[in-house]
Structure 1
Amino acid sequence: MPRFLALFLVLFVWAGEGAPLLAVEPALAASKAKKEDYFAKKRFEAMDKMLRDLRNKSEMEKLEGVNDFFNRVRFVSDLENWGVEDYWARPSEFLTRDRGDCEDYVIAKYFALKRLGVPEQKLYFTYVKAIRFNQAHMVLTYYENPRAVPLVLDNLNYRIFPATKRKDLVYVYSFNAESLFLNTQKGRGRTLAGGSTRNKEWAVFLQRIEKEGL
């Protein structure tokens, strides 16, 4: 299973009304030679339309729209998808292949919502145990305020529920670019010292994002 103490930084672009809300790899946008590239391009266009349609909606509508969109992507393990046990896919890779594992859904949802103006301090990568499958899992959680019960955006259960309603998950810890804390089912628990600096793997992933782009 993937290792989850990671933070993901990518660049989003917004250059005006006619520009895409998310940067698409030039090679993908330009390529029409392969059938799979054509369908991948269509998925990026659909994503951009989704983001445009949600731009002036409420935060709850943004959560639901982004969650629904990315949950259409097919789940596969990193081993099946990439031939390795653990691989953190960039959003462009996730949509191009149209498949990925749990952290790939979370990464794509996180940055799409951030692009839509949802404050970063409300969005967290959350490490859980999926009781039904008896395995580590990752979800995206949304906190309306620091003391609120978080809402869970998940690829196992497509509906958004408060964490207290997800009895199938055991919450372990959450993190974003600012903080790292232990979870309770009812919300945030004890903040852990060190925050993002604890994770050496984050730096490696960031270097890859800076080199390869979104």
Structure 2
Amino acid sequence: MSSQPHLSFPVHEGQRPRLSRRAVLWGGLAVLTASALRPGLNALALDFDASRMHASMQSRYGAPGAKALNAWLAMLDGQKNKPLQQQLSSINEFWNRAVVQTEDSMLWSQPDYWATPLETLGKGAGDCEDYVIGKYFSLLRLGVPGDRLRLIYVRARMGGAGSNLSIAHMVLGYYETPVAEPLVLDSMLDNIMPSSQRKDLTPVFSFNAQGVYVAGAQPASVDRITRWRDLLARMKQEGFLP
């Protein structure tokens, strides 16, 4: 897992006394005003130019890449109109099985690279951000509202309950409402659990297309995350249509 991007947001505790510190960190804020940052994106729907996607995969990754893309598209097609819980589980399991965990320095010769879903499928490998990106855009494709999903940077404790060892990690959170406890989709686990059951994870900040969220601070524009902007630009070239 590569290091998280540096963002100089203040974290003010104690402003919302009815919520535990852990709930605030997970994003259980009483008021969220992200829609004011990016009007209209709460109804974001992801569309594909399938012919461009296939051409991109075939040219860059050959027959194995095209096969991986077809498997993803077939899975998405099979999950249309399924119950949400089934969609979350199927998306989580698909990406956890389709991708081998590795480091960006080995895969991309860069310390931190956010791969598009097609790049991750083409390589068949990625780090924690790549799993989350794949899951996030898969759920958008199935019609899950973008404001119910957040990419969440966490510290993940390794080695059991008594361990002091932790690593930077990213998970995907699904929020039924802005104040709900999120369900956590994690590349390290196939089981999807509420955040309260993930005592091994300590959230740092989260973001989605609507904004960046830090406990105790007003949401900020996601445009300040340059890797996110670069990711969307590359996805557009591949055939993803916002």
Which amino acid is 1:115 matched to?
Answer: R
Please state how far the C-alpha of 1:81 moved relative to its aligned partner: 0.8
Decide whether aligned partners of structure 1 residues 85 and 67 sit closer, same or farther in structure 2, where only a CA change above 3 A counts: same
Match of residue 47, structure 2, among 6, 9, 12: 12
For residues 4-43 of structure 1, what are the alpha-carbon distances to aligned partners after superposition, in whole Å with 9 as ceiling and x for unaligned?
479xx996327xxxxx5x9624142468xxxx63222222
For residues 172-191 of structure 1, what are the alpha-carbon distances to aligned partners after superposition, in whole Å with 9 as ceiling and x for unaligned?
11111112222xxxxxx434
What is the match of residue 21 of structure 2? Answer: none
Which amino acid is 1:140 matched to?
Answer: L
Q: Which has the larger Rg?
A: 2
Provide the TM-score with structure 2 as the length reference.
Answer: 0.72
Provide the TM-score with structure 1 as the length reference.
Answer: 0.81
Within 1, Cα distance between the matches of 2:226 and 2:77? Answer: 35
Which amino acid is 2:185 matched to?
Answer: L
Please state how far the C-alpha of 1:148 moved relative to its aligned partner: 1.0
Which amino acid is 1:194 matched to?
Answer: A
Please state how far the C-alpha of 1:198 moved relative to its aligned partner: 3.1
For residues 33-60 of structure 1, what are the alpha-carbon distances to aligned partners after superposition, in whole Å with 9 as ceiling and x for unaligned?
xxx6322222211111111110010111
For residues 61-99 of structure 1, what are the alpha-carbon distances to aligned partners after superposition, in whole Å with 9 as ceiling and x for unaligned?
110011000001110000111111111111111001100
What is the match of residue 4 of structure 2? Answer: 3
Contact in 1 for aligned 2:79/2:142 (Cα 8 Å):
yes
Gap regions ≥5 residues in structure 1:
15-19, 183-188
Decide whether aligned partners of structure 1 residues 120 and 5 sit closer, same or farther in structure 2, where only a CA change above 3 A counts: farther
Decide whether aligned partners of structure 1 residues 202 and 146 sit closer, same or farther in structure 2, where only a CA change above 3 A counts: same
Alignment: residue pair count: 196
Percent of matched pairs sharing the same residue: 39
Gap regions ≥5 residues in structure 2:
8-43, 159-164
Within 2, Cα distance between the matches of 1:74 and 1:138? Answer: 16
Match of residue 147, structure 1, among 148, 163, 179: 179
Match of residue 104, structure 1, among 130, 138, 153: 130
Contact in 2 for aligned 1:123/1:140 (Cα 8 Å):
yes
Contact in 2 for aligned 1:110/1:123 (Cα 8 Å):
yes
Decide whether aligned partners of structure 1 residues 176 and 191 sit closer, same or farther in structure 2, where only a CA change above 3 A counts: farther
Please state how far the C-alpha of 1:167 moved relative to its aligned partner: 0.8
Contact in 2 for aligned 1:10/1:213 (Cα 8 Å):
no
Single out whichever of 127-136 and 158-167 deviates more from structure 2. 127-136
